[in-house]
Amino acid sequence: MRDNVTVDVDAVVYYKVVEPGAAITQVENYKFATYALSQATLRDVLGQMELDGLLSERESINTRIQELLDAYTDPWGIMVTGVTIRDVSLPDTMKRAIAKQAEAEREKLSRIILAEGESQAGQKMSEAAAFYQGVPTAIKLRELQTLAEIAREKNLIVVTQSQALETGNIAALSQAISRKKEQ
81-123 pLDDT, tens digit per residue, is 999 999 888 878 878 888 898 899 999 999 999 999 999 999 9
3-state secondary structure (DSSP) of residue 14: strand
Q: Give the pLDDT confidence of 56-85 residue by residue, as tens digits.
A: 888 999 999 999 999 999 999 999 999 999
Nearest CA-CA partner of 84 in 65, 68, 67: 65
Question: What range defines the domain where residue 97 resides?
Answer: 91-131
130-157 residue pLDDT tens? 888 888 778 777 887 887 787 777 776 6
DSSP-derived 3-state class of residue 129: helix
Q: With CA atoms as reference, report the closest residue to 64 among 79, 36, 84.
A: 84
Tell whether 140 and 179 lie within a shared domain. Answer: yes
Residues 83 and 105 occupy one common structural domain: no
Q: According to the model, what pLDDT value does residue 97 have?
A: 82
Residue 39 lies in a domain: yes
Q: 107 and 171 share a domain?
A: no
**Confidence class of residue 7 from pLDDT cuts 50, 70 and 90?**
confident
Same domain, 43 and 78: yes
Number of domains in the chain: 3
Tell whether 103 and 167 lie within a shared domain: no
Buried b (16+ CB within 10 A) or exposed e, 69-81: beebbeebbbebe
**In the structure, what pLDDT confidence band is assigned to residue 170 with cuts at 50, 70 and 90?**
low
Task: Please determine, for residue 171, whether its predicted confidence score (pLDDT) is greater than 70.
Answer: no
- CA angle in degrees (0–180, nearest 5) for 80-85-90: 150
